[in-house]
Amino acid sequence: MTGRPALPHLPVSAALGPLGAALAAGACAVLSAPPGAGKTTLVPLFLLDAPWRGDGRIILLEPRRLAARAAANRMADLLGERVGETVGYRMRLDSRVSARTRIEVVTEGVFARMILDDPELAGVAAVLFDEFHERSLDADFGLALALDVQAALREDLRILVMSATLDVERVAALLGDPPVIASEGRSFPVEIVHRDRPAGERIEESMARAILEAHRGETGSILAFLPGQGEILRTAERLTGRVGADTAIVPLYGNLGQREQDAAIRPAAPGTRKIVLATSIAETSITIDGVRIVVDSGLQRLPVFEAATGITRLETVRVSRASADQRAGRAGRTEPGIAIRLWHAGQTAALPAFTPPQILSSDLSGFLLDLAHWGVSDPAALRLVDQPPAAAVEEARNLLRLLGALDGAGALTPLGRRIRDLALPPRLAAMVIRAADEGDGGAAARLAVLLTEQGLGGTAIDLEERLRRFGSERGERAEAARRLAARMAEGAGRSGKRGAGGTTAGALLLHAFPDRVALQRGGRGRFVMANGRGAELPETERLAGSAMIVVADLTGQAGRQRILAAAEIDRATVEKELAGDIVREEQCVFDRASRQVRARRVVRLGAMILEETPLPRPAGPAAARALAEGVRQLGLQALSFGKETAQLRDRIGFLHRSIGAPWPDVSDEALLARLADWFEPFQAETRGLDDVSQASLRDGLMALAPHAAQRELARLAPTHFEAPTGQRHPIRYDGDEPVLSIRVQELYGLKNHPAIGGGRLPLLLELTSPAHRPIQTTRDLPSFWAGSWRDVRADMRGRYPKHPWPEDPAAASPTTRAKPRGT
């Protein structure tokens, strides 16, 4: 490297020449290199001397702030410089760049905003996507945008995708099948050892035992992977006092401040060891000198967005094979090591190959807002490795419309442009802008930063309490967060009004979460939100006794959602701030307990009833609709179909199955879907399910068929069969074919098989004895007379000697009686 120190020799060094040739000849390349190969630091430094770079900057994307700072520090150290000179970094709460900077290490979210604000990427020669296998939403989106820019505006822009574990074929296909360079080998060998975890044992117990065993039996520092902060703290408690004064126990997770994180990855002091208890944050892009032992719980905590509930919950799941390899690779970065896995060796093959991409399980509201800014309304227009789920896309569009950020055509509104300009999730950006217009932008911005930077102000559910703590919190991270909030408030603009001050967190949150205003219903700590869903607080929480709250964060599956962050609000403020969303109306509703329709006058916000007054019992179309809603809730079994009505339904259903149109489907699913067609019009005067008449049900079922077809029903599917004796017998239509159950003597003399549907559809005959016990079934009566009748006759004559059993039943007279006496 001209004028710069020589690069160290690492496993990736052998791949640098082919990589340089690939990027000299083409605009894209893919680099696959195992953990410990050195790609994060050596590749950007190597590309500094590429002739095509000119004086352009190299942008290196990292998935996390810790990895970005570590990479920048390592590269600057190799150059003998300080961070901010040739190598700098840029992230949300911290930036160190200068006019001299030619390698910028940026977090993936920062890059997406960079390219959206400057589509030409002026002054940028190359974009390097490191650790792409993690498949964050920001990385997928950033790559799609970079490819868009390269195709339309910057043919000279180089794009390199790098990963230790990568689905190479899919990524290469997305890039147009550029050269794929593979770097073989890792720095040092790593021995893989498996330890079975006893069933039912808490993970911190298993991890503490494995760490202590490794500490006693091996040399060097230990890196232990646990799913989350709680498990890390509990494991640290179990290790404290059991490892000796020469070993430090150090946590490493996202909520820690920069100093604590940087301290965790610094080498242990000479003559000492360290045990680093980390989340997945330590999987990639960082080297902790001295670590040669990895203890892997095999678990990780992933956010999962549920479009049906609109919330993101954290799930503890098994790691992928790719993540397990990444974790093991941490043990071989600086010397031979050992990786201890707390699962059976055979279970490794059952692990998923890769961690699921975030785009498949994320809140997409910010993504869609950025898409609209880019001029795209459909994600399919971008070159994405995976397209997002349609349900999540629609949920995001609905939210952005609710916030006023998108118009009916999916384009950005003026408010949407202001929301997008703030580096915040759309809900919180909308809150800051509304507050800024009212003169309270500073308070809203501090609340927004508190909600996006985990750990600030503590972990209390009550956001008023967390805001108070945040205001007096000391430390570099808190100071940087407050500075960020001030910049956001300034960026949101000011209307010239002066806020009265003292605006509560609840009043601010109304404009971020109008659908999560919650009313206490059902006891202390139990709430129903404006979106109709329930949520709970522990009864010991102060907010559990509040009449109304605004929920900012919650977790759990539908029906059992647990509130994580909220603030108190009063009804007067809700009615003032959300006046346009509050509805006053008269309603007809179904009461499940009484199975009756009730009328009431209500004041509501969404599905949340703020006030209600009973009205006289209703009737008419509104009552019929409420009654139909009761049927939907309870199912079709809530209606009492009498014998005749049930037979009518069976007859129509049989014709639908055997003939098809115009005969309608009358299955449970079909009838529930069409209650407005056959049920509601006939219940205008009905006030409860127990009052529904059989006549109304029969008329409703008949109404599903065209009038002309109704006249044919009796001919095609008669209710009864008239036997040669003159007796009428019901025909059953509840199976796959119509069934007639009849005593065999009543069919004597009949030479043709009974049929319906104009003679086209034969009846299945269940022939019975004089005692009405089945003796034979047949679909061909003449063949029965000529064939197996002989055996039936021989058997029946002995059992029922008083009844006639002629040799030729086709020529005999039908009867319902026994033989006369003396015959």
CA 773 to chain centroid, in Å, comes to: 57
Burial class (CB in 10 A: 0-12, 13-18, 19+), 480: middle
Who has greater pLDDT, 303 or 566? Answer: 566
Confidence category of residue 183, pLDDT binned at 50, 70, 90: confident
Q: Is the pLDDT of residue 11 over 90?
A: no
Strands 739-743 and 728-732: antiparallel
Burial class (CB in 10 A: 0-12, 13-18, 19+), 23: buried
Q: What tens digit of pLDDT does each residue of 372-387 get?
A: 999 888 899 999 999 9
Average pLDDT over residues 745-765: 87
**Which pLDDT value is given to residue 82?**
95
The SS3 assignment for 242 reads coil
Q: Is the pLDDT of residue 492 over 70?
A: yes
Q: What's the half-sphere exposure (Cβ side, CA atoms, 13 Å) at 266?
A: 11
Whether the Cβ atoms of residue 300 and residue 226 lie closer than 8 Å to each other: no
Find the length of the chain: 823
Whether the Cβ atoms of residue 388 and residue 367 lie closer than 8 Å to each other: yes
Smallest CA-to-CA distance from 431 within 609, 578, 252 is with 578
Place of tokens 């994320």: 362
Alpha carbon dihedral 454, 460, 461, 464, in 10-degree steps, equals -100
Domain positions in the chain are 13-182, 190-359, 636-716, 720-811
Q: Is the pLDDT of residue 558 over 80?
A: no
DSSP 460-513: -SBHHHHHHHHHH--SHHHHHHHHHHHHHHHHH---S----S---HHHHHTTT-
Tokens (6 digits) for 356: 């699921």
User: At CA 67, angle to CA 63 and CA 73, rounded to 5?
Assistant: 140
User: At CA 548, angle to CA 543 and CA 549, rounded to 5?
Assistant: 60
Average pLDDT over residues 630-650: 91
Residues 6+ apart with CB under 8 A from 313: 303, 304, 306, 555, 556, 557
Q: What tens digit of pLDDT does each residue of 582-591 get?
A: 999 888 889 8
Continuous segment of H or E residues that includes residue 291: strand 291-296
d(CA 287, CA 35): 10
554: left (phi over 0), alpha (psi -120 to 50) or beta: beta
Place of tokens 């006023």: 404
The three-state DSSP-derived secondary structure of 421-460 is HCCCCHHHHHHHHHHHHCCCHHHHHHHHHHHHCCCCCCCC
Q: Is the pLDDT of residue 29 over 70?
A: yes
Bond before 425 cis per omega within 30 degrees: no
Domain 190-359 = CATH 3.40.50.300: yes
- Integer Rg of the chain from CA: 37
Q: Name residue 671's amino acid.
A: L
Q: Same CATH fold, 190-359 and 13-182?
A: yes
Q: What tens digit of pLDDT does each residue of 77-117 get?
A: 999 999 999 999 998 778 999 999 999 999 998 998 899 98
d(CA 466, CA 542): 13
Confidence category of residue 580, pLDDT binned at 50, 70, 90: confident
The β-bridge partners of 785 are: none
d(CA 162, CA 818): 94
Strands 596-605 and 582-591: antiparallel
DSSP one-letter code for 546: -
Strands 28-32 and 180-182: parallel
Burial class (CB in 10 A: 0-12, 13-18, 19+), 505: buried
DSSP one-letter code for 240: T
The three-state DSSP-derived secondary structure of 749-806 is CCCCCCEECCCCEECEEEEECCCCCEEEEECCHHHHHHCCHHHHHHHHHHHCCCCCCC
DSSP 210-233: HHHHHHHH--SEEEEE-SSHHHHH
Whether the Cβ atoms of residue 265 and residue 66 lie closer than 8 Å to each other: yes
Burial class (CB in 10 A: 0-12, 13-18, 19+), 533: buried
Mean pLDDT of the chain: 89
d(CA 140, CA 149): 14
d(CA 118, CA 123): 10
Continuous segment of H or E residues that includes residue 59: strand 57-62
d(CA 516, CA 665): 40
Q: What tens digit of pLDDT does each residue of 397-451 get?
A: 989 998 899 988 888 999 999 999 888 889 999 999 999 988 889 999 999 999 9
Q: Is the pLDDT of residue 331 over 70?
A: yes
**Which pLDDT value is given to residue 498?**
46
Q: Is the pLDDT of residue 662 over 60?
A: yes
**Which pLDDT value is given to residue 794?**
85
Average pLDDT over residues 302-309: 73
Burial class (CB in 10 A: 0-12, 13-18, 19+), 299: buried
Confidence category of residue 185, pLDDT binned at 50, 70, 90: low
d(CA 311, CA 533): 11
**Which pLDDT value is given to residue 527?**
94
Confidence category of residue 70, pLDDT binned at 50, 70, 90: confident
Q: What tens digit of pLDDT does each residue of 768-795 get?
A: 988 888 988 899 899 999 888 988 888 8
Q: Is the pLDDT of residue 820 over 80?
A: no
Confidence category of residue 287, pLDDT binned at 50, 70, 90: confident
Confidence category of residue 497, pLDDT binned at 50, 70, 90: very low
Average pLDDT over residues 202-230: 94
Whether the Cβ atoms of residue 373 and residue 420 lie closer than 8 Å to each other: yes
Confidence category of residue 495, pLDDT binned at 50, 70, 90: very low
Whether the Cβ atoms of residue 385 and residue 140 lie closer than 8 Å to each other: yes
Percentage of the chain with pLDDT > 90? 50
d(CA 757, CA 334): 85
Tokens (6 digits) for 232: 């890390």
**Which pLDDT value is given to residue 213?**
95
Q: Is the pLDDT of residue 499 over 70?
A: no
Classified by CATH at the fold level, domain 13-182 comes out as Rossmann fold (3.40.50)
Phi, psi of 669 (to 5 degrees): -60, -45
Who has greater pLDDT, 255 or 183? Answer: 183
Neighbour tally for 813: CB within 10 Å: 12
Tokens (6 digits) for 509: 């949150």
**Which pLDDT value is given to residue 260?**
81
